[in-house]
Structure 1
C-alpha cells in the first residue's frame, strides 16, 4: 500500500489542523533540510494544512462509485472484495484558484525572495543548543519579520524598506537586502507592483547557540500594472534567526521553492 500524506505525518485522516501542525513540527525538528524526508513532510503539511487542498486530496482517497458497485457484486457472488489502496497523487497538487499567472510575472513579483536566495547560503548549525523557549520565541519573531521583508508597495518603497530593516542584522541588510531593494526601486514605478506576504504556517527546523532556523510557508498575493486582481505566489522560506542582545534578527534567508500557486 502506497502511504498517503496522513501516513507520512503519522496522523489519522480525521486529525484536526492542530494535530496535523503538531505532527509536522515534531517531524521536521532537528531534521537536516537535505534529508529526503524533509521535502516529503513539508509537502504533506502544505496539503493537509490547507482546507481546500485537503478536501480535494481526501476526495482522491475515496473509492469511486464503480469500485463500490464491483465490490458489492463480488460480495454477492461470494467473492472477496479487494482492498482499496489510498495513494498519494503523482500529478500537480489541487489548485487554489482558477487564475493564470504568466511566467514573466514571477520575475517581477518574486524578485526579492528569489534574488535573496541566490545571494545567501543556508547555514546548518548544531542541533538542540538553545532551549525550547528561545526556539519558539525565534519562530514567532520570524513569522512577524518575514511579512515586511518579503512585502513592498511601489507607492511607499522607503516605508517598506524601513519596516523590513528593523528585523535584520546590519550584515544581512548591507550585504543582501539593500542592494536588491535598490534594484526593485528602479522598476516598481513602471510595474506598479504591490506584494503582501502572508505566513501560512511555520516550524523550527534546527537550533543552535543563539541561532535558530525557521521554515515558513509564505503566500505572496501580488498586483501590478497588468493584474489588478491579486495573483498568489507560494514560497517555502528558511530564515536563520540570530540573537542580538534581547532581539532575534534575520541573518540569512533562502527560499527552498518558489512559484505561482498551482492552477493560477
Structure 2
C-alpha cells in the first residue's frame, strides 16, 4: 500500500504540470505578440479601420452593406493573426534554431503550437469585439444576441485554417522571405473571396475561382450566422475548411519533423 501511495504521489502532479506548461506557454506567447508592434498594431487596427472606411463612411447608410461588410470584415480580421502569427514567426524561430531547442526542452510536445493557436484565437476575438462595437454603434448593424455570439464563435474558430496555412508557409520559407509570401497571399485571397465587396460585383472568372479560397467558405458561414443570403451548402463549407486545415497541418508537421 505504501508503494501505491508513493507511486500515486509521484504521478498525480503530472497532469497539473502539463496543463501549467500549456498555460504558461500560451501566456508568454500572447505577451510576446503584444510587445511586437509590427504584428500587433496592423493585426488589431487594419480590420476596424477598413470597416470604418468601407462599411460605415462609404456605404451611404445602406443597412445591407453594413451587415454584409461586418460579416466579411470579421473574416478578414481573423486572417492576419493566423497567417502572420504562424507564417512569419515560425519561419523566424525555425531559422534561429528555436524550434530545435523546443523539441529537447522538458515541455509537452504540443505546447508550442497550442500556444500560438490560442494566441491567434485571442487576437481574433479582440478584433471581432472591436468590429462588433463599431458595427453596433456606427454601422447600424442590428442582430439578436445569438447572432452576435454565433459570429464571434465563427471568428474565433475560423482563425484555425489560416493558422494551418501560416504554419505551412513558416515550415518552409526562410525568415526574410516569409513576410513577402504571407502578404502575397493575404490581401489577394481576401479580395478574391469577396470580403471587400460582394462577388456579384466582380468579374465572372473571380466568382468561378472563389470556391478555392478558405476565406470564401468562412465568409458564407459568417453571412449565414447573421441571417444574410449566402451561397452553397453550409456543411460543404465546413467540410472544406476542416479538410484544408487538416491537410495543411499534416504537411507542415511532416516538414517540421525533419528539423534536427
TM-score normalised to the size of structure 2?
0.30
Greater C-alpha Rg: 1
Higher relative contact order (CA 8 A, sep 6+): 2
Between Structure 1 and Structure 2, the one with more strand by share is 1
TM-score normalised to the size of structure 1?
0.29
Between Structure 1 and Structure 2, the one with more helix by share is 2
